[in-house]
Amino acid sequence: MTRKKCVGVLALQGAFQEHIDFLERAALENCYNVTVIPVRTKKELHLCDSLVIPGGESTTMSLIAQRTNFFDDLYTFVHSSQKSVWGTCAGLIFISDELENQNELIKTLHLLHARVKRNAFGRQAQSFTKVCDFSEFIPECTDFPATFIRAPVIDKILDSETVKPLYTIPNNDEEDVIVAAQQGSNVLVTSFHPELADDDIRFHEWFLKKFVVDF
Amino acid sequence: MVANTNVDFKVKSGLAQMLKGGVIMDVVTPEQARIAEKAGACAVMALESIPADMRKSGKVCRMSDPKMIREIMAAVSIPVMAKVRIGHFVEAQVLEALEVDYIDESEVLTPADWSNHIKKNDFKVPFVCGAKDLGEALRRINEGAAMIRTKGEAGTGDVSEAVKHIRKIRAQIQEFGSLLNSPDELRTKAEELRVPTDLLKSTLEQGKLPVVNFAAGGVATPSDAALLMQLGCEGIFVGSGIFKSSDPENLAQAIVQATTYYNDPLKLLQVSSDLGDLMAGVSIESINADKKGTRLSEIGW
């Protein structure tokens, strides 16, 4: 029998409970030997094989982590090739190498070799849900409801050797922008919120299988 | 149009979900907004004057000047909320055109309509509304509110009303839970609360409100914030408390930390120390004693 794996969800601020609920359900329904915990401290982080950084405000998360001296622990954790990491929305911003805008406000974890643009579609008035065909990377997932809330996008890939786009959408009829990507075999980022997809846990099932159970 | 209602609501309530575990701060200038953002606020509420000063003024309190709200929107990267008077759907149209991220239909301002709240489902911009009990919360949600804040008593620095309102909502959800076994009684209760039976039923089944529930009104210390979080609130609005204190930056940071680590007394001890002079405030009892005093939580229905 394989060792029980532990997935942490960073719980400094934001929609962490939604991720916990989805991951627990996905683990249960697939009989994965996985526990899911909220992570606010170094002690909790050290229990984890994988870390999900949820949506929320990236400025808030980064500042709280810095003030509690938790930032360095997070930095070490996400840079370990033994660990997997998934950043959604604010989580994508928090782990990126570079920010296209508002750089001075956020100290990032410099994990993802990409430049990220915050609030790339605009304000809340430009938030939206779009049904996306993810079947190129998630088998048979042709109709996933992806919700984008004041969402960031990957503006530029800084290392095309390691960072592979998974999905792009058109932004305001301009060129396509990257809204999901993978770096190496252990880092996943999405600018949208699979944890808001009502009862649809397909994205979390795929993450658990590929980045936790089979990792 | 109708087919998209659920999708639109998901986008509206989704932003509130992203704010959870965070602190939303009242600010009256771009400079204060920047201080709030640097302290770790997850959003700001743009206002012309803070509730403590509005209370004293005795004037009609309206939507803030859009020019000032626009300046605050330009000054920070976090979501910006702004208040409209209860029932004033045209102020809401103006703020929607301005593209604020959230509208607060607020009892802190002078109501424009003493019978009707805004039909919030008609708007694309999401709304947060105040509530002091379950019925009021569900009536606002039924009108389209995508987030609820328990009312508390704004501008006082006295947290007791905020505590009362979250306790009330949670106690009622518990108490009415038994009605789930009796469709007739459930319908009668829904009629009494003036809400659809289905909405009451799904709320009782989930054991919580169907939208995010923040606390507001009277939060003045890190411990106040942690108290409300431990009582089940999902985030905190701080109004006058921060910028009426002697060291706003420090206090704002401390309240942010306390909201994250609300269950960790050692961390709360750390952030509660050496905060300078806190908001002096006015106790709820003294408002009650003064016959001229109106409690804001009594406004709205």
| DSSP H stretches of helix in B5-159 | 5-19, 30-39, 51-57, 66-75, 89-98, 134-143
Residue A24 assigned ligand-binding role: no
Q: Is B34 on the interface with A (CB under 8 A)?
A: no
Q: Which residues contact B124 (CB under 8 A, 6 or more apart)?
A: A125, B8, B96
Question: A132-183, pLDDT tens digit by residue?
Answer: 999 999 999 999 999 999 999 999 999 999 999 999 998 876 789 999 999 9
Alpha carbon distance B270, B265 (integer Å): 9
Catalytic residues of A: 89, 193, 195
Q: Do A124 and B256 touch (CB under 8 A)?
A: no
Domain residue spans in chain A? 5-213
Residue B264: count of CB within 10 angstroms of its CB = 17
CA-CA distance, B16 to B127, in Å (whole number)? 10
Q: Using 50, 70 and 90 to split pLDDT, how confident is the model at B298?
A: confident
Distance CA B176, CA B158 (A): 29
Is A115 annotated to bind a ligand? Reply is no
Rounded mean pLDDT, A113-120: 96
Asked whether the beta carbons of residue B18 and residue A125 sit closer than 8 angstroms, the reply is: no
Q: Tell me what pLDDT residue A124 has.
A: 96
Out of A16, A60, A119, the one facing B42 most closely (by C-beta) is A60
CA distance A77 to chain B (A): 21
CB spacing of A60 vs B11 below 8 angstroms: no
pLDDT for residue B136: 98
Band of pLDDT at residue B3, cut at 50, 70 and 90: very low
Res B4: pLDDT: 54
Annotated binding residue B223: no
pLDDT at residue number A1: 56
Q: Are the beta carbons of A14 and B41 separated by less than 8 Å?
A: no
Is the pLDDT score of B2 beyond 90?
no
The Cα B251–Cα B126 span in angstroms is 29
> Where do the domains of chain B lie?
5-298
Q: Interface pTM (ipTM) of the complex? A: 0.95
pLDDT digits (tens, 9 = 90+) for B19-76: 999 999 999 999 999 999 999 999 999 998 877 787 777 788 999 999 999 999 999 9
pTM of the model: 0.95
B167 is in an annotated binding site: yes
State which CATH number among 3.90.79.10, 3.30.1490.20, 3.20.20.70, 3.30.70.270 fits the domain covering B5-298: 3.20.20.70
pLDDT above 70 (res B289): no
Distances, alpha carbon B40 to alpha carbons A15, A43, A91, B78, B260, in Å = 16, 23, 16, 10, 11
Per-residue pLDDT tens over the stretch B221-256:
999 999 999 999 999 999 888 988 889 999 999 999
Of B65, B52, B67, B63, nearest in space to B86 by CA: B63
- Cβ–Cβ gap B256/A193 under 8 Å: no
Q: Is B224 annotated as a binding residue?
A: no
Percentage of chain A modeled with pLDDT above 70: 99
pLDDT winner (highest mean) among A26-30, B217-221, B282-286: A26-30
Task: Evaluate if residue B166 carries a pLDDT over 80.
Answer: yes
> What is the Cα–Cα distance from B268 to B211, expressed in whole angstroms?
28
Is CATH 3.40.50.920 the classification given to domain A5-213? Answer: no
What percent of chain B has pLDDT above 70? Answer: 96
DSSP notation for B140-151: HHHHT-SEEEE-
Q: Is the pLDDT of residue B115 over 70?
A: yes
Q: Is B253 on the interface with A (CB under 8 A)?
A: yes
Considering only CB atoms, A64 lies closest to which of B77, B100, B257, namely B257
Q: Please determine, for residue B284, whether its predicted confidence score (pLDDT) is greater than 90.
A: no
Task: State residue B301's pLDDT score.
Answer: 80
Q: Name the CA radius of gyration of chain B, rounded.
A: 18
Q: Which residues of A touch B (CB under 8 A)?
A: 11-18, 40, 55-57, 59-60, 63-64, 67-68, 89-90, 101-102, 105, 118-119, 122-125, 127-129, 145, 147, 149-150, 193, 196, 198
Closest-CA residue of A relative to B78 is: A57
pLDDT for residue A45 = 98
CA distance B272 to chain A (A): 14
pLDDT, averaged across chain A: 95
Question: Where does residue A75 rank: exposed (0-12), middle (13-18), buried (19+ CB within 10 A)?
Answer: middle
- Asked if A56's CB is within 8 angstroms of B20's CB, the reply is yes
Distance (Å, whole) CA B116 – CA B77: 34
In sequence order, the 6+-apart residues with CB closer than 8 A to the CB of B109 are: B54, B61, B62, B63, B83, B84, B85, B86
| Dist. CA A74–CA A58, nearest whole Å | 14
- pLDDT confidence bin for B293, thresholds 50/70/90: low
Tens of pLDDT, residue by residue over A33-79, are 999 999 999 999 999 999 999 999 999 999 999 999 999 999 999 99
Which residue stretches of B76-196 are H helix? Answer: 89-98, 134-143, 160-176, 183-193
Chain A contact for B257, CB < 8 A? Answer: yes
> What pLDDT, on the 0 to 100 scale, is given for residue B218?
92
